[in-house]
Chain A
C-alpha cells in the first residue's frame, strides 16, 4: 500500500481550497474527514454523483407493485367479499395504501442500501485520523507519490491554506 499524508485544517473553506489545489497539482485524494457535510468539497475531491437514487427508484417500483398487486390479489382473487356492492377490483380505493407501501419500501430500502454499501460495523469505533474529526477539525488524506519531492509540494499547499501536516 502506498504511503499516505494527512493534513489538518481548522475550517471547511481552507480544507476545500487545499483539496482543490492538491488535486490540481496531480495528487490523488484518498479521503477527507469532516465534522459535517462540507458544501462544495465533493467537487473539489472530484466525487461522482451518487447513484443511490436509482436504487431508491427500484425500491419504489417494487413497493408500488407489491401495494397494488397485493391488494388486488387479496380483494379480488384470494377471498373476494362483497362490500357495499363495490367491484372486486376497487383500484382507486387501493391507491392510498399502495402509496404508503411504496414510501415504506423506498425509504427503508434506500437507508438499508446505504448501510450495506458502507459495510457498517455495528458498535465498532470509527477509523479516523483523529477523534476531533467528528468535532471541530477537518482532515484530508493524500496518496503520496513515488518521488521524494512530492511530500514538500503537498506540505507547501497545506501551509499556504492555514493547515498543518499530521505526523503518522
Chain B
C-alpha cells in the first residue's frame, strides 16, 4: 500500500499529520474570535431580537396580527416550518446515509452538518408552537394521563404524527451528534489548559480514554444509530408531507408528496450546508479540510435531488390533467398563471435552472459561483413551500370566499428571527465545540509518519 500511487485527490490537503488535525480544529476554539465572527454574531443576535419582539407581540395580541384570513389559514408560518425541517435533512443524510455508503469525504463536514440539523429542527419546531396561538398549552400535544377525561390526542391525525416525528428526529439527531463527538471532546479535554475547560469537557467526554475495546463497540453503536437515522430522516419529511397529502384540498392530496418532499428537503438542505460550509472554510481558514472536492460532491447531490424535484413538478401537472378533475386542474393553472404566478416562477426558476449549472465542472469548483447558486436554491425551496401552501388555499371551491394573502411585519419578523436563532446557535457552536470530527478526519489521513501520506 505504501508504494501505491493514489490516483484520487487526497481527502484532506496540506500533508497533515494527526497532531496537525487536532491543532487546526482546536485552534478555532482556542483563539480569540475574529471581527468577522463578532459581526456575524451581532447580526444574528439582532435578527433574533427582532424575532423575539415579533413573537412576543403576536402571543400577547393573538394570531390576528398575521395576514391570515378565513380562506388562507396556513401561510407564512407553516412555510417556515417545512422549510426549516427540510434544511435539517441534509445533516442527517451526510452523517447517516453517507456513513452507511462508506463515503469518506463526509468526515470533514458531518459534524457541522449535524449541528445544522439540530438547530434547523429547533427553528422548525418553534413555528407550529407559535401557530397554536396559546403556546403555553403546547404540552397538550403529548399523550399523557390527564383529568380531562382522560382525553387523549387523536392518533389518526397527521398533525399528531408530526409531533412524534419531529420530536423523535430532534432527540435522535442530538444523540447521534453528541455520541459522535465524545472522542473529540476527550481530545479537547486532554489538551485543555484552563481548569474550567478541563472540567467542562471532562464532564462531557464521560471519561473517554481511547481504549480500543471501547472503540470497537462504539463503532457498532455508531453504525446502528446511522442505520436508525437513515429511515428516520425519510419518515420525518414523509410525515410532514402527510400534513398536506392526507387532506382533501386540490393541490395537496397527491400520493407523490412523500418522495417529492424528501427529495426537496435534501435539495434545500445541501444548499444550506454549502452556504454554511463555504462561509466557514473561508472565515476559519479550513480550505485544507473542506476542499473543492467536498463542494463538488455536494453540488452533485444537488443535481440529483434537483432533478427529482423537477420531475415532481412535472408529475403534479401531468396528474392534474390526467385525473380529469376540474378542481385539481384549476389549482395548477392558478399556480402558474394566477395572482401568485410570480412566486411560482421564482420557485421554478430557482429550483429547475440553478442545479443545471452544476453540470459544468468549472462551475462546481468555483466557490463564489457555488455560493451564489446555493443561495438561489435556498430561496427557491422556500418559495416551493409557500406556493404549495398558499396557492392551494387562496382560491377554494367557492369563488365568493376567494382571497389573497400578504404577510404582515410580524410574520416577516418571525422568519428573520428564526434565521437569527439558527445563526446564533451555529456561531456559538463553532466557538465552543470541535466543529470538524477530528477522529474521523485522522482515520482518512493514512499518515505514515514519513511525510508522504497519501490519503484517499
Binding site for B on A (CB under 8 A): 10-14, 31-39, 41-42, 45, 47, 49-50, 52-53, 56, 70-71, 74-75, 78-79, 81, 83, 86, 90, 93-94, 96-97, 99-101, 103-104, 106-108, 110-111, 114-115, 117-118, 120-128, 131-136, 162
Contact = CB atoms under 8 A, between A and B. Distances in A.
Contacts of B209: 33, 126-128, 133-134
A108 B225 CA distance: 9
B282 interface: no
A104 B168 contact: yes
B228 interface: yes
B150 interface: yes
B32 interface: no
Interface of B is mostly: helix
B442 A93 contact: no
A33 B210 contact: yes
B397 interface: no
Given A93-B155, A126-B205, A128-B209, A108 B224 contact: no
A124 B156 contact: no
Contact of B211 (A33, A103, A114, A117): A33
Interface of B: 1, 17-19, 22, 143, 149-152, 154-156, 158, 160-161, 164-165, 167-168, 171-172, 175-176, 179, 183, 186-187, 189-191, 199, 202-203, 205-221, 224-225, 228-229, 231-232, 235, 238-239, 242, 438-440, 442-443, 447-449
Given A32-B212, A115-B206, A107 B225 contact: yes
B206 A107 contact: no
Contacts of B217: 50, 52, 114, 117-118
A73 B203 CA distance: 41
B213 to A, nearest CB: 5
B175 A35 contact: no
A83 B175 CA distance: 36
Contact of A111 (B149, B221, B242): B221
A35 B150 contact: no
Q: In the complex, which of the residues B18, B203, B212, B440 has the most CB atoms of chain A within 10 Å of its own CB atom?
A: B212
A34 B210 contact: yes
Given A53-B220, A124-B207, A33 B212 contact: yes
